[in-house]
Amino acid sequence: MALRSESHARVSRSCGNCRAVKRRCDQRLPHCGQCIRTCEECPGYRDEWDLVFRNQTDHTIKRSKQKRRQREDTSTLPRSYSSNPLSLPELSNSYDAIGVNYFLCNFVTNYRSSSRGYLNYIPADYVIDSQRSPMLVASMAAIGLVTLANTTGQPQLAKHARAKYSEAINQVNVALASPTESIKDSTLMTVISLGLFEHVSDFSSWARHVQGAAALVVARGKSQFSSRASFLMFNQVRADMVAVCMHSGQPFPEDMLATQCTKLLSCVRKNRGQIPWPTLLQQATGLQEELQYIVETLSMQSGYATSRKAGEDPAVFYNERFDVYTNSWAIRVWNNARILQIRTCDSMHYISNQILSADLEPVTRAHIELQRLDTQEIVSKLGKDIISTVPQALGAISSASETGHAVNVSSPTNGSAGYMMTWPLYTAGKSLLMEGEARKWIIQRLQEFGHTAGITLALQLVENIIKIDQCTNRESLI
C-alpha cells in the first residue's frame, strides 16, 4: 500500500445503502436518516483513510518505487524508514515523519485494527498536504513521538516530541489571535490532539487543554455543525469536559449545554439541606431512567456481542469475557453512556445514605434500601461491561466486521487504547459500588497504562482508586 498524493475525483461520503441505490444521504450519526426511514440496517460510512491507504495496482506500486529511489538521493530520511508504506515525503525531518506515521497508525486510521482510531475524524487532506495545517501536523508528530518513546522505551524520542509540542503550541497561539484562524477545524483538531500530549503530564495540564478546546467550541457557534468532523469534535470536547467537571467538581460550561448528570452531581455536592434529599433522589431516579432509555435505543442501533474464551491472559480478559463492537467509536459511545450511568448511580447511593440516616417509616426505609441494592447491581454490571471493552481496545481481538474473533495478546498497549480506556476504567473503579475483585483488576490495568504507555494521568487517577480499595477492605474486616 502507498500514500496517494495525486489529485482524485470527489469520493462519496454517503452510507453503503444510499450509494447502492444512488439516493441522497443526510450522513446523520450514528445512522443515516434514509436508512432509519426505510427501516434498513445502516452499514455506516466509509472511512476516507481506507481510500487513502488503499491497495495499489502493480503499475502504481512500480511507479511509487521509482519515485522513492529518486528521492532517497536527497532525502534526509533513512533508507530503512523510507520503505515504510506510510512514509510522508513532504516532511523533511525523519523524526517528524516517524511521529506523524505512528500517530496516523494508532490514532487516526483503523486499517490494521478496528480498535484504533481515537481521532479518526481528522481528514486525510490535512496530512496529504502538510502545508495546509502545519500546526496540526506538528501536534501529530509530538503525540506520535512521545507515545512511541513511552511504549518502546526510547527516551531520545521524547526530546524531539517536546520540541514539536512547543512548536505546535506557538503556532496555536498565533492562530488563536486571528478571528478567522481560531475557529477553523484544524485549530480545534490541534488543540484536542495536544490535550492527548498532556496525558503524559498530569490532570491539571490536560484539564486546561480541555477547557481551552471548550472555549473554542463555544466561539465556533452553531455553524460548526456543518460537517461530520465538526460534529465528532464537538462530542469529543463535550465528553472530555464532562470528565473534567466530574473529577474536579467544577461546574459545566452553560454555553456548551450542561448535561443533567453534571448538574445533578453539582447539586449533590453543594447540598447542605437547601434541597430535600428525597427530592434529589427523585431527580436522580428520573435521570437514571432517561439514561437507560438512551442505552436501550443505542443497543438497537449499534449493539455489541458478548463472548467468552477460556485460557486467555486474565490481565486482558477479565473472567474470560470480551465484548465485540463495530469499531472504536462505538466503544467510546457506549462507555461514555456507562460513565454517566455510574456517576448517576453513585449520586443515588449517596443520597440514599443521607435519607437512611434519618428516622423513617419501616415501609419507606425498606423501599430506599431495596432501591440502593438495585443501584449497586446496576453499577456492578456497568463496570464489568466497561472492563469487557478492554480486549478490543487493546487490539487483542478483531471487530465484528472482521472475520472471526482472532485473539492476539502479544501486542503491547498502544497509546490510543490507553487514552480511550483511562476514564471509563477510572470511573468504574472509583465507584464505591464496584466489586473489590473487579476494582483490583482495574487498578492493575491503569498501572500498566501508566508504566508501559507512559500515561502519567492514569497513574495519578489510580491512586484515588487504591485509597478507596484500601478503605473498603478495612470496612469489610470490621
Q: What is the pLDDT along the chain (478 residues), one digit of tens a residue?
A: 333 333 344 557 788 888 888 888 887 777 788 888 888 888 777 655 444 444 433 444 444 455 445 444 334 333 333 334 344 445 556 888 888 888 887 788 755 555 566 777 777 666 666 667 889 889 989 988 988 888 777 878 888 999 999 999 999 999 999 988 888 888 998 998 888 888 877 788 888 888 888 888 888 888 777 777 888 888 888 888 888 888 877 777 665 555 678 888 888 888 888 899 999 999 999 999 999 998 998 888 888 999 988 888 888 899 999 999 888 888 988 999 999 999 999 999 999 999 999 888 999 999 999 999 999 999 999 999 999 999 988 888 765 444 344 444 444 566 678 888 999 999 999 999 999 999 999 999 999 988 888 888 899 999 999 999 888 765 554 4
Report how many domains make up the chain: 2
Residues 337 and 456 in one domain: yes
Residues 308 and 396 in one domain: yes
Query: Which residues, other chains included, contact 470 with Cβ-Cβ below 8 Å and sequence gap of 6+?
Result: none
Query: Strands, DSSP E only, in 274-381?
Result: 305-308, 321-324
Q: Is there a domain that residue 5 lies in?
A: no
Residue that terminates a domain, selected from 198, 232, 248: 248
Would you state the pLDDT for residue 2?
Answer: 34
Residues 244 and 263 in one domain: no
Residues 169 and 304 in one domain: no
Residues 413 and 341 in one domain: yes
CB 54 within 8 A of CB 4: yes
Q: Is there a domain that residue 72 lies in?
A: no
Q: Is there a domain that residue 50 lies in?
A: no
- Amino acid letter, residue 92: S
Phi, psi of 286 (to 5 degrees): -65, -40
Q: Is there a domain that residue 51 lies in?
A: no
Residue 214 domain boundaries? 92-248
Would you state the pLDDT for residue 63?
Answer: 46
Residues 122 and 192 in one domain: yes
Would you state the pLDDT for residue 321?
Answer: 93
Please state the pTM of the whole predicted model: 0.74
Residues 67 and 329: their CA atoms lie apart, in Å, by 37
Residue that terminates a domain, selected from 248, 279, 295: 248
Would you state the pLDDT for residue 71?
Answer: 46
Residues 279 and 425 in one domain: yes
Residues 80 and 248: their CA atoms lie apart, in Å, by 47
Residues 232 and 295 in one domain: no
Handedness of CA 110, 114, 117, 121 (dihedral sign): positive
Residues 245 and 241: their CA atoms lie apart, in Å, by 6
**Residue of 109, 135, 132, 141 whose CA lies nearest to 122:** 109
Would you state the pLDDT for residue 464?
Answer: 92
Would you state the pLDDT for residue 81?
Answer: 33
Would you state the pLDDT for residue 158?
Answer: 87
Residues 113 and 131: their CA atoms lie apart, in Å, by 29
Residues 279 and 394 in one domain: yes
Residues 391 and 444 in one domain: yes
269-291 in b/e form (b: 16+ CB < 10 A) is: eebeeeeebeebbebbeebbeeb
Would you state the pLDDT for residue 256?
Answer: 59
Residues 398 and 469 in one domain: yes
Is residue 199 classed exposed, middle or buried when 0-12, 13-18 and 19+ CB atoms within 10 A define those classes? buried
Would you state the pLDDT for residue 57?
Answer: 37
Residue that terminates a domain, selected from 248, 275, 293: 248
Q: Is there a domain that residue 85 lies in?
A: no
Residues 210 and 112 in one domain: yes
Q: Is there a domain that residue 24 lies in?
A: no
Q: Is there a domain that residue 190 lies in?
A: yes
Q: Is there a domain that residue 363 lies in?
A: yes
CA distances from 75 to 62, 91, 134 (A): 19, 10, 20
